[in-house]
């Protein structure tokens, strides 16, 4: 799949897209990610991309011209399944949405200032709006990085079998079970006996019980049907 990201702050996206699983997905050719600097679509001497809001108020709003020019130029090169604006107004990202997006071919992510973008961009060009939670970020860039990470790890061939996204906590709507690695005893704290037993059926049963118990204790909301998974 291909993801185009439009931003006035391309540096904010550098390391999240160049490390770890996302890096691996790109190196393997499973995902192509292209970051577009909105400033290169501004034509005035100062490469202005934002301006004060009509009617007054604090904060700056992204101007329509550079966004229209950038988005329309990209739309002229390929067709997009979704043109997504990252905003606290949007539907909340969850595993179901990440799964859905991972099946698309071409996505465009538009990052705005927190105060917003000119409404005409939303009306004319944006097909979907996504938020990553009930708190305010300074802009959409970190949210875009979150979406790319959540999506990239779902693409076939990105994770190896043992790390497969299908075994993720949340993929089946439950929290994960406790995990341990060597040593078997550390500062008087012991790894649960069952995990050292070598009895795979028993281990699997113990893990499933732990997952249910933890989900009941900490995330009762996940046990409802519409839990976003």
Residues that bind ligand 6GU (CB under 6 A): 86-88, 114, 131-133, 135-137, 139-140, 143
Nearer to ligand 6GU, 98 or 143 (CB): 143
Structure-token match 């130029």, residue found: 73
Cβ-based nearer residue to ligand 6GU, 96 or 214: 96
Say how far residue 127 (Cα) sits from the centre of its chain. Answer: 17
End-to-end Cα, the chain, rounded Å: 22
Task: Please give the Cα distance from 161 to 157 (Å, whole number).
Answer: 9
Beta-bridge partner residues of 116:
113
What's the min distance (Å) between Cβ of 78 and ligand 6GU? 24
Least distance CB 114 / ligand 6GU (angstroms): 4
Residue whose CB is less far from ligand 6GU, 109 or 158: 109
Q: Provide the minimum distance between the beta carbon of 94 and ligand 6GU in the complex, in angstroms, as a whole number.
A: 13
When the beta carbons of 6 and 143 are compared against ligand 6GU, the nearer one is 143
CA distance 130 to 203: 39
How far is 48 from 65, CA to CA, in rounded Å?
A: 10
CB of 135 to ligand 6GU, least distance (A): 5
């Amino acid at each position: 799949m291909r993801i185009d990201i439009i931003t006035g702050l391309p540096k904010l996206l550098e390391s999240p897209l160049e490390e770890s699983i996302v890096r691996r997905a790109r190196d393997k050719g499973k995902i192509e990610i292209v970051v577009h600097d909105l400033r290169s679509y501004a034509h005035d001497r100062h490469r202005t991309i934002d301006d004060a809001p009509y009617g007054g108020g604090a904060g700056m709003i992204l101007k329509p011209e550079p966004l229209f020019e950038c988005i329309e130029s990209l739309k002229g090169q390929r067709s997009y399944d979704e043109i997504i604006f990252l905003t606290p107004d949007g539907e909340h990202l969850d595993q179901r949405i990440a799964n859905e997006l991972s099946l698309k071919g071409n996505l465009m992510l538009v990052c705005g200032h927190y105060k917003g973008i000119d409404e005409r961009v939303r009306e004319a060009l944006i097909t979907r709006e996504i938020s990553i939670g009930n708190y305010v970020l300074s802009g959409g860039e970190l949210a875009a990085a979150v979406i790319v990470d959540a999506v990239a790890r779902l693409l076939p061939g990105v994770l190896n079998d043992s790390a497969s996204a299908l075994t993720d906590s949340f993929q089946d709507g439950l929290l994960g079970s406790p995990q341990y690695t060597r040593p078997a005893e550390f500062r008087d704290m012991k790894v649960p006996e069952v995990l050292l037993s070598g009895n795979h059926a028993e281990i699997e049963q113990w893990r499933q019980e732990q997952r249910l118990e933890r989900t009941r204790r900490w995330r009762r909301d996940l046990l409802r049907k519409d839990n976003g998974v």
